[in-house]
Amino acid sequence: MRALVSSVYLFLYAPIVLVVLFSFNAGRNASEFTGFSTAWYGKALGNTFLVSALQNSLMIAFTSAALAAVFGTMAALGMERLGIRTRAVFDALFAAAIVVPGVVIGIATLVALVAVFSFVNPALATIWPGDHPPQLGLGYGSIIAAHGLFSMALVAMIVKARIASLGRDIVEASSDLYATPLTTFRLIVLPQILPSILAGFLLAFTFSFDDFIIAFFVAGSKTTLPIYVFASIRRGVTPEINAIATLVLVASLLLILTARLLMREKKSKSGE
């Protein structure tokens, strides 16, 4: 049994280790290790297409995760005060945002946005005073909007779980002592849910940063890091791609570990 389990761990990690190892390969060959070198990292970071894709990904992930953290937390706080039916509708929609395959979310967003653009752009052109009316199109905005959807659902779910485990008595004590609702929120509720909000933010950031399929549909002419990596892989595996892949792995790993740590702190504090 132990041998079996060990081999599963080997199965899980061997491919990852291999990619990391070969990112340090001196040679171009993908099948034999010809010496240690960090040259491919230099090459990757000197690649302007790659760097701009990375910047796009970071900007999109940060914006959609930040929006999600704010609006998702607000929704989690508000949902508790809603009637059972309205709350159930919210729960179902949030669940759908997570469970519906990314391919479908991407397509639905694309189809809807293009339909909206085809109405708005001509209308804009007729009322625009100048010669060059702004054209709405796919790009950063559409990726952020689509990523914001599942990110918001993620944050709302995590924060909601935390709120459910909060002690009502402290909140009641606070208002008995004549604190305004806002003061109670600022001094009692917020400090307790903050780690969950941060964890939600980091998870959302990672999801957005790693997402390929939704961005593939709604990115228009913009390139994110996964789109760039995907396109390069199709042209052939190179050590440079291994270097990028390693950087992507390390980045998502760090974010995830931080998020997990924040969620664990929440558990130990609530005495679970």
Partner 1 sequence: MRKAMKTKRNLVTAALVAPAAAWLTVFLVLPFIAMLVFAFGERAPEGGYQAAFTFAQFANLPTRAAAFWNTLLLAPAGALLCLLVAYPVAYYLALKANPRFRLILVSLVVVPFWTSLLVRTYAWMYILGSRGIPHLLAMIGIEDVRLLNTPGAVLLGIVYGYLPLMIMPIYVSLEKLDRRLLEASADLGAKPVSSFFGVTLPLSLPGVMTGVALVTILLLGEYLIPQLLGGGKVFFIGNALVDLFLQSRNWPFGSAIAVTLVAVVVIVLMVAMRIAWKVAGTRQVDLV
The minimum distance between CB 123 and partner 1, in angstroms, equals 18
Beta-carbon contacts of residue 218 (< 8 Å; ≥ 6 apart): 106, 109, 110, 113, 138, 142, 143, 145, 146
Closer by beta carbon to partner 1, 74 or else 194: 74
The two tokens of residue 58 are: 């970071």
Q: Which stretch binds partner 1 (CB under 8 A): 37-45, 130-138, 189-197, 213-221?
A: 213-221
Show the binding pattern over residues 50-69: x = contacts partner 1 (CB under 8 A), - = does not: --------------------
Looking at residue 232, its amino acid is S
Site for partner 1 in 156-175 (CB under 8 A): 156-157
DSSP string spanning 113-129? HHHHHHHHHHHHHHH-S
Q: Which stretch binds partner 1 (CB under 8 A): 25-33, 50-58, 172-180, 190-198?
A: 25-33
Nearest CA to 157 out of 101, 95, 201 is that of: 95
From 179, 194, 230, 258, residue interacting with partner 1 (rule: CB under 8 A): 230
Indicate whether 185 belongs to the interface with partner 1 (CB under 8 A). no
Count of residues near partner 1 by CB under 8 A: 77
Show the binding pattern over residues 93-122: x = contacts partner 1 (CB under 8 A), - = does not: xxxxxxxxxxxxx-xxxxxxxxx-------
Beta-carbon contacts of residue 22 (< 8 Å; ≥ 6 apart): 30, 33, 239, 242
Nearest CA to 77 out of 160, 195, 196, 177 is that of: 160
Output b/e per residue, 203-219; b: 16+ Cβ within 10 A.
bbbbbbbbbebbbbbbb
Indicate whether 190 belongs to the interface with partner 1 (CB under 8 A). no
Indicate whether 12 belongs to the interface with partner 1 (CB under 8 A). yes
Q: Which stretch binds partner 1 (CB under 8 A): 34-42, 127-135, 164-172, 229-237?
A: 229-237
| Beta-bridge partners for 36 | 25
Looking at residue 91, its amino acid is D
Q: Identify whether the C-beta of residue 149 lies closer than 8 Å to the C-beta of residue 156.
A: no
Site for partner 1 in 69-88 (CB under 8 A): 70-72, 74-75, 77-79, 81-82
Closer by beta carbon to partner 1, 9 or else 178: 9
The minimum distance between CB 131 and partner 1, in angstroms, equals 26
The two tokens of residue 145 are: 């909007």
Closer by beta carbon to partner 1, 125 or else 231: 231
Indicate whether 213 belongs to the interface with partner 1 (CB under 8 A). yes
Q: Which stretch binds partner 1 (CB under 8 A): 3-11, 43-51, 159-167, 188-196?
A: 3-11
From 171, 212, 258, 265, residue interacting with partner 1 (rule: CB under 8 A): 212
Instruction: Report CA Rg, the chain.
Output: 23
Nearest CA to 151 out of 206, 103, 220, 85 is that of: 206
From 148, 198, 240, 266, residue interacting with partner 1 (rule: CB under 8 A): 148
